[in-house]
Structure 1
Amino acid sequence: MSVHDELTSVQRCLDDLSRSVSRLEQQLGSSAGLDMRRVRTDADHLRESVSLLREATSAQGAQRKPELVTIPDTPYDDSLWVDIDDEGLGARDRRAP
């Protein structure tokens, strides 16, 4: 499954959880008190977290397409390399070991 499909599946499960929590609240009434409020808050936090994750993944999907850079076949200008040493050989005016 793709990430989008997985997030949709999680969202459906959270919708079911929210409905179940609402039914449970109605059945228990005020007798559950703090515990029921904690369950409701946790379920709401999960919904918010999944929503943020969905936004983050859609933003990453938009950024994922790399920009292509064309590299020319012509040789580079030798003047670009005047001030550097040949790698592993030392400076031009000195002998290599």
Structure 2
Amino acid sequence: MSTTEMLELRRTIDNLRHCVASLQSLYGDAPAVRRLVNDVERLEIDYVDLEVSPPHLTHHRPVERIQVPDTPYDASMWQGADDEGVGGHPADHDT
């Protein structure tokens, strides 16, 4: 992560900790609040892990995009195709 991303993560965790502390003062030791406190602690642990030992950066290859035309397909392409289970109507088929 870049320094900017790490600073933003730090700020977000601090804000979340502040919000959870407010909830804790409002709701006390409710199970949901305890889980939130635990979640914030786990985020802090993960943040420190990233800061101390960042993983290798991954480089994403650009995704190859295949353009699908808006024009209708040639009806002969579907000649003789079985459309069972696709929602076709028996009246639509030559028998």
Q: TM-score range by the shorter chain?
A: 0.5 to 0.7
Deviation at 1:29, TM superposition (A): 2.1
Query: How many pairs does the alignment contain?
Result: 56
Deviation at 1:49, TM superposition (A): 0.2
The secondary structure found in structure 2 opposite 1:46 is helix
State the partner residue of 2:5: 6
Deviation at 1:5, TM superposition (A): 1.3
Structure with bigger helix share is 1
Give the Cα–Cα distance (whole angstroms) in 2 for the partners of residues 35 and 56 of structure 1.
31
Give the Cα–Cα distance (whole angstroms) in 2 for the partners of residues 19 and 43 of structure 1.
10
Say what the alpha-carbon RMSD is for the aligned residues: 1.9
Name structure 2 gaps, 5 residues minimum: 57-95
Equivalent runs, 1:73-88 vs 2, <5 Å = none
Deviation at 1:51, TM superposition (A): 0.9
**Which structure is higher in RCO with an 8 Å CA cutoff and minimum separation 6?**
2
Give the Cα–Cα distance (whole angstroms) in 2 for the partners of residues 18 and 52 of structure 1.
18
State the partner residue of 1:53: 50
Give the Cα–Cα distance (whole angstroms) in 1 for the partners of residues 7 and 14 of structure 2.
11
% same residue: 21
Name structure 1 gaps, 5 residues minimum: 61-97
Query: What TM-score do the two structures reach when normalised by structure 2?
Result: 0.53
State the partner residue of 2:18: 19
> Structure 1 residue runs of 4+, over 2 Å off?
none
